[in-house]
């Protein structure tokens, strides 16, 4: 009941202020990024963390935008922005990923370009530093679309992608998130991973405070980027550690083309974040594109239908970033926040976190 009330309140907020779109003129290039969606309360996000997230979003946005402004490929812009966020422990992707119930970081990512509908994805990586680069290698250097597990790490290594010890991905905040997640279910935490720093008392305390901003069900912070480049290619990519306490080799929506990521030139590019099971069941990214392509909906109308209405009705939570048919950037979410940012060739820029923040266009 309480859950339903929260979702209804969030849906109202989504209608009020979180479906936004850039100006009417057609940009030469555009980029929109997210760093995860969920229950983000002003009261819990300290001014320091708030500023840190905004700075990290700005940095990733600038890295992608620079490539696009210089006439570079959208796929390069996506990889540049996402690898920065994968290296940043603030985000649930690469270093800073959440932990599975067994105490492991298992990383998922995907990338797609809208010209030839080529796509690549990886699931359950444990040693590849940049999962988004592995997804791109699958797209460009293999005959497949989705590779999983240790063999996918081996494929990445054989294509020259940096391999790290699993402890590289460890952060105290996400570990404490797992401890809290399991404690709420009356379960003991797994053994602390080998080779990671011992939990000093003050470090653990700071991390517990930071972990407290994460949702009870999952520590969000998935990252994604959607772009339109100057050659007229739409593309999107997503990278995540998945959901805290995931079990049994669980794979979410992020590496599934059509659920967490989709791109089609002249129609749309989408990257999603939220509880992946709902995005999988709705085929969210492809569904948004199909509404634009087949029903002629504007990108914001498609987001309203899929995120505000359908995802909410199913009990799902999260959001998406999207680029529409004219290169316009758009956000849609049914949660109280989504770390997000956008910029286009006309200089239309926004960095925002809370659902009621940002330009209501
Ligand atoms: N969608 C991701 C997953 O379910 C998690 C997230 O975006 O927060 O794996």
- Domain ranges across the chain: 2-97+106-117+217-354
Alpha carbon 136 to its chain centroid, in Å, reads 16
d(CA 17, CA 361): 9
pLDDT value at position 208?
57
Mutate to test the pocket of ligand 1, among 35, 239, 252, 335 (most ligand atoms within 8 A of CB): 252
Q: How far is ligand 1, taken at its centre, from the CA of residue 114, in Å?
A: 23
User: What is the residue with the minimal CA distance to atom 4 of ligand 1?
Assistant: 276
Q: Among candidates 327, 228, 232, which has minimal Cα distance to 26? A: 327
Query: How many beta carbons lie within 10 A of that of residue 348, not counting itself?
Result: 17
Cα 24 to averaged position of ligand 1 atoms, centre (Å): 31
pLDDT computed for residue 207 by the predictor: 58
Three-state DSSP at 274 gives strand
Atom of ligand 1 nearest to the CA of 219: 8
CA angle 134, 139, 142 (to 5 degrees): 90
| Contacts for 8 with CB less than 8 Å, ≥ 6 apart | 312
Q: What is the pLDDT along the chain (361 residues), one digit of tens a residue?
A: 334 334 444 444 444 345 555 455 789 999 999 999 988 888 888 899 899 999 999 999 999 999 999 999 999 999 999 999 999 999 999 999 999 999 999 999 999 999 999 999 999 999 999 999 999 999 999 999 999 999 999 999 999 999 999 899 999 999 999 999 999 999 999 999 888 888 766 565 555 556 555 655 456 799 999 999 999 999 999 999 999 999 999 999 999 999 999 999 999 999 999 999 999 999 999 999 999 999 999 999 999 999 999 999 999 999 999 999 999 999 999 999 999 999 999 999 999 999 999 865 4
How many angstroms does the Cα of residue 240 sit away from the middle of ligand 1?
6
Residues with CB under 6 A from ligand 1: 36, 218, 220, 222, 240, 242-243, 252-254, 273-276
pLDDT of residue 200: 66
Catalytic residue ranges? 222
Could you give the CA distance from residue 141 to residue 155 in angstroms, rounded to a whole number? 10
Given 3.40.50.300, 3.30.390.50, 3.60.20.30, 3.40.30.10, which CATH number is that of 2-97+106-117+217-354?
Answer: 3.60.20.30
State both tokens at 258: 């059509």
**Probe target for ligand 1 pocket from 224, 253, 257, 317, with the most ligand atoms within 8 Å of CB:** 253
Using CA atoms, how far apart are residues 35 and 225, in angstroms rounded to an integer? Answer: 9
Q: Atom of ligand 1 at shortest distance to CA of 37?
A: 8
- How much distance in Å is there from the Cα of 346 to the middle of ligand 1? 32
Ligand 1 pocket test: which of 122, 241, 275, 339 has the largest number of ligand atoms within 8 Å of its C-beta?
275
**Model confidence, pTM:** 0.91
Structure token pair of residue 296:
């002629």
Q: Whose CA is nearest to atom 7 of ligand 1?
A: 273
Q: Give me the pLDDT at residue 211, please.
A: 58
Ligand 1 center–CA 250 separation, angstroms: 11
Maximum Cα–Cα distance across the chain: 57
């Amino acid at each position: 009941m309480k859950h339903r009330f929260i979702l209804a309140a969030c849906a109202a907020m989504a209608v009020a202020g979180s479906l936004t779109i850039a100006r009417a003129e057609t940009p030469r290039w555009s980029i929109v990024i997210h760093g995860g969606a969920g229950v983000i309360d002003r009261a819990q996000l300290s001014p320091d963390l708030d500023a840190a997230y905004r700075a990290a979003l700005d940095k990733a946005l600038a890295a992608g935008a620079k490539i696009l402004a210089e006439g570079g490929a959208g796929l390069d812009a996506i990889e540049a922005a996402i690898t920065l966020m994968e290296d940043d422990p603030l985000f649930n992707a690469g270093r800073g990923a959440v932990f599975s119930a067994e105490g492991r970081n298992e990383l998922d990512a995907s990338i797609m370009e809208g010209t030839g509908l080529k796509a690549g994805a990886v699931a359950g990586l444990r040693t590849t530093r940049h999962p988004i680069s592995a997804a791109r290698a699958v797209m460009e250097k293999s005959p497949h679309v989705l590779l999983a597990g240790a063999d996918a790490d081996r494929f990445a290594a054989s294509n020259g992608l940096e391999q790290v010890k699993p402890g590289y991905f460890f952060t105290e905040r996400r570990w404490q998130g797992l401890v809290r997640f399991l404690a709420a279910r009356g379960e003991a935490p797994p053994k602390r991973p080998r080779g990671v720093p011992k939990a000093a008392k003050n470090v653990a305390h700071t991390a517990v405070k930071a972990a407290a901003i994460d949702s009870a069900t999952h520590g969000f912070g998935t990252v994604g980027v959607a772009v339109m480049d100057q050659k007229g290619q739409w593309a999107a990519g997503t990278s995540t550690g998945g959901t805290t306490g995931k079990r049994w080799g669980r794979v979410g929506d992020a590496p599934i083309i059509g659920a967490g990521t989709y791109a089609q030139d002249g129609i749309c590019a989408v990257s999603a974040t939220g509880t992946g099971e709902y995005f999988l069941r709705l085929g969210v990214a492809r569904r948004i594109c199909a509404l634009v392509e087949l029903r002629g909906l504007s990108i914001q109308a498609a987001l309203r239908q899929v995120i505000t209405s359908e995802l909410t009705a199913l009990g799902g939570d999260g959001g998406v970033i999207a680029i529409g048919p004219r290169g316009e950037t758009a956000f849609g979410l049914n949660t109280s926040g989504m770390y997000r940012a956008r910029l286009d060739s006309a200089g239309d820029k926004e960095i925002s976190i809370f659902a009621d923040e940002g330009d209501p266009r």
